[in-house]
Structure 1
């Protein structure tokens, strides 16, 4: 399986700052804490990349064509975007894979971030799912984590205890800014999302590929699920993060 999480073409630089706070005298503080104690924040790291493309089609199309060439006949592609380019990408994937190879559009809904006041707040991403061969793709629903029923009283106790299979709308929080999973990469995706894709669309020992690897979440999940993986990125900070996060992986530099 291939997971592709390319830049979303937001038109701006993606930036993440990692700050560490320590106690200081009140006159040197830049913020206050419990009982008026003074704290000062120190910038430990800064990561960024530009996310603006005048011709997004020519940027993404050859990569999707190569992805299709690399996939086995039973392979699956997950293309992770948002509202800015997903409608163009859907047409592009129909052209590259064929409309009959479209499997799903998954909506990843989350609940964190700024709240717009002049429109409905954008709180979801779009994940397009395409297969190489619509008659021969691998999908194992038995390996997918189950979710609690929203109305467990309407089903039998056995069903409520087992949970239900996810639909094409996935409710999952973002990577916690203070959680153990956080690496500091600006666009890191939670392992829970990737785990569901890898479990459903690959078998132990299969190869998984991410050629916009970023923080290496695909590699971390694939390793935990006993899959082989290839993670590719050209960003120096992404490579350094993956070195630390995936110490068991062999690094090949070009």
Structure 2
């Protein structure tokens, strides 16, 4: 019998390879937390016939989890992006994410302002609108400025749960923030700080930051630690299948969670090897070949 590539009894693991066949081979309900920051913007010219779908019990389309929809087709149009190709790429991976989440699990989907509105509609169809928990705004004040519009200084993080009646969430474990108007609260509250809201003020990874790995889309470990602390417990398994520089692994190592990271990029795997080999429980590195 062929041994599985990964099981919940495995040590921390990094897998190099296409994430979809790896995800399809993983046992269901294995992960308490999934955090992903998928790529976007291929820049190819596409022609597509847009579709609007609405929930309808007598509809002509059967979607995820057996839900039915009515399909309303729009006019043929052209636009600059591989949007249709992108969602054909991402949707089956998000379906696997739903399957892999534990009954108390949570998915954090990290996007920017250009994609988040489309993603919200698709995630409502895949997970169910009742499973939408939050849209987190990660705000920062660093980088280029614009004199022709309000400078864009935030990313969006959509938060969905597997079961809206039984998901795990403990904001008492997260880091606290300074009060923006400390004069309005007691000195004791000022000293303690306040719990974060759905707007997170946190700097990006600066070029001279100690945590900098050189990976171009590296996210701050402080942002990811907040997700890990609130939505998982010690020794829970967490998953990132667009792992990049391995920030989820670094956050999990600090907070005593177990992690599985997947990426097809040799550069990303090399960065993760340098970054995670020095942690207290360094991962095993595996390669998946179809």
Q: What is the CA distance between 1:63 and its match in structure 2? A: 0.8
Q: What is the CA distance between 1:59 and its match in structure 2? A: 1.4
Is 2:140–2:153's contact at 8 Å kept on the other side of the alignment? yes
**Is residue 287 of structure 2 the alignment partner of residue 253 of structure 1?**
yes
**Is residue 191 of structure 2 the alignment partner of residue 157 of structure 1?**
no
Q: Within 5 A, what are the aligned runs for 1:119-158? A: 119-158=149-188
**Aligned residue-pair number:** 216
Q: Partner of 2:159: helix, strand, or coil?
A: strand
Q: Partner of 1:58: helix, strand, or coil?
A: helix
Unmatched tracts of structure 2, length 5 or more:
1-32, 45-80
Cα RMSD (Å): 1.4
Of structures 1 and 2, the one scoring higher in RCO (CA 8 A, sep 6+) is 2
**Partner of residue 24, structure 2:** none
- The Cα offsets for residues 117-138 of structure 1, whole Å up to 9 and x where unpaired, read as 2111111000000000001000
TM-score w.r.t. the length of structure 2 is 0.72
Is 1:77–1:130's contact at 8 Å kept on the other side of the alignment? yes
TM-score w.r.t. the length of structure 1 is 0.82
**Partner Cα separation in structure 2 for residue 160 and residue 179 of structure 1:** 27
Q: Partner of 2:151: helix, strand, or coil?
A: coil
- The Cα offsets for residues 170-220 of structure 1, whole Å up to 9 and x where unpaired, read as 011000101110001110000000000000000000000000000000001
Is 1:101–1:132's contact at 8 Å kept on the other side of the alignment? yes
Match of 2:116 among 86, 92, 113: 86
Structure 1 outlier segments of 4+, above 3 Å:
51-54
**Is residue 43 of structure 2 the alignment partner of residue 11 of structure 1?**
yes
- Relative distance call for 1:167 and 1:7 in structure 2 (3 A) is same
Unmatched tracts of structure 1, length 5 or more:
13-50
Q: Partner of 2:238: helix, strand, or coil?
A: strand
**Partner Cα separation in structure 1 for residue 251 and residue 82 of structure 2:** 29
Q: What is the CA distance between 1:113 and its match in structure 2? A: 1.5
Q: Partner of 2:108: helix, strand, or coil?
A: strand
